[in-house]
Chains A and B, each alone.
Chain A
């Protein structure tokens, strides 16, 4: 009976270890932000609470006057879901971040169908969607 007790404890330890490992490998979140890139140069004061602060170096590489966050959503990774953004855009994700099937629809019409590998902390920008003031960008970032 003593041996059985040790065995149960060992199995419980293994279970906890495996659970920890699986949680550690599956706790990423995909941040999905809809940003409007405006052609007109406007005076932008970047505050410490700037919602685009972490992706501003990437945005500044684009030839636009200013950027404004329009909408922001998150999806857990591995992805299996869909988020609706403003301007009739929908982002659908399926799979792990190293083999992510990403579909973007606009007004219920598929616009982009892609397979991507997205790395932690490295923004992926899908841009060129028409907007009244310039262009719309969808910025993906794994946190």
Chain B
């Protein structure tokens, strides 16, 4: 495609002479009549930009979800019927030291009353 300079373009257009006169009203009447038969595209509805929460808010929401899941897990573990209930276990004396003078220590586990007895003999 050749590229014309502005001067060349001006010269060509000048040599073409005056543009023929047209009837404006007739032109627009014909234009409107033809436009009636043209398929029309649906009107473009201007959509509101979708609301995107701020980054900080999204972070808080994510943190909230994590805390929520942690709370659910904690709640379920506290109420898990398959976990051994603390009440089903016996008392346990893991370690003890008797610092008073004594002659002996006896530990008794009594099943009927579910009790544990630590008895110090001969304590002074």
Contacts and interface: CB of A to CB of B under 8 A. Distances in A.
B71 A106 contact: no
A122 B78 contact: no
Interface-centre pick from B57, B67, B89, B116 (highest chain A CB count, 10 A): B116
Contact of A55 (B75, B87, B90, B115): B115
Contacts of B121: 128
Contacts of B35: none
Nearest to B114: A122
Contacts of B113: 55, 57-58, 60-61, 123
Contacts of B90: 119, 122
Interface in A94-114: 97-99, 106, 109-114
A110 B100 CA distance: 8
Secondary structure type dominating chain B contacts: mixed
Contacts of B34: none
Interface in A47-81: 55, 57-58, 60-62
B113 to A, nearest CB: 4
Interface residues of A, number: 43
Given A111-B98, A114-B95, A130-B123, A7 B60 contact: yes
Nearest to A120: B87
Interface of B: 53, 57, 60-61, 64, 67-68, 71, 74-75, 78, 86-87, 89-100, 102, 108, 110, 112-124
Q: Name the 10 nearest CB pairs between A and B, nearest first.
A: A128-B120, A58-B115, A114-B96, A57-B113, A58-B113, A117-B92, A123-B115, A115-B94, A125-B117, A122-B114
8 contacts: A3-B61, A7-B57, A14-B68, A14-B71, A21-B75, A119-B89, A122-B90, A123-B113
